[in-house]
Amino acid sequence: MSHFQLSIILASASPRRKQLLAEAGFKFTVIPPDIDESAFLSDQISAREYAEQLGLAKAKNVAVKFPSRLVIGADTVADFNGQIIGKPADAKEAEQITKKLFSTPHKVITAVAIVRISDGTELSESDTTTVYPKKLTAEQIADHIKSKSWQGKAGAYAIQKNGDEFIERIEGSLTNVMGLPMELLQRLLERIVD
């Protein structure tokens, strides 16, 4: 049975994750998790651990309601010199994040978790991409904040919409920066199917 035929649930409200899965040919249902992301934040935790814990919590939150289905959860954060940068709460925070992240290379980490309660399946790994930003002018930053395209995006930007305008180059997976590292997802699914 190929993993394209699996009965998958995507535990995410992200339109980009949905798009990436659909473009890869997966059949799936979208059921957003109901968890408080702020409850997971801690000074004692690395950006990678935070993303992995949150991705797993999202998958488990939905998997409990559908024990026989394979549930994919994911979480994306930006790592700025060890500081975890998630989704901005408002325009002011989005501006602060944009000024910070677009001054120096930073990492984008997406954790992928796959959970199926019925057979005890529980996998969680993450992928890291280094993003080399272009230096933005004050005007470009102001336009970005006005555009509201930062809403709901870790690090306050979405690479595929206007990535070229902001990004010099990346080292690693592009789909990872978009919110769902497809190469990692394929590897994890292969471990389940085999």
**Residues carrying an active site annotation:** 75
Angle of CA points 29, 32, 35, to nearest 5°:
150
Residue positions counted in the chain: 194
Angle of CA points 50, 42, 114, to nearest 5°:
20
Side-chain half-sphere CA neighbours of 128 within 13 A: 14
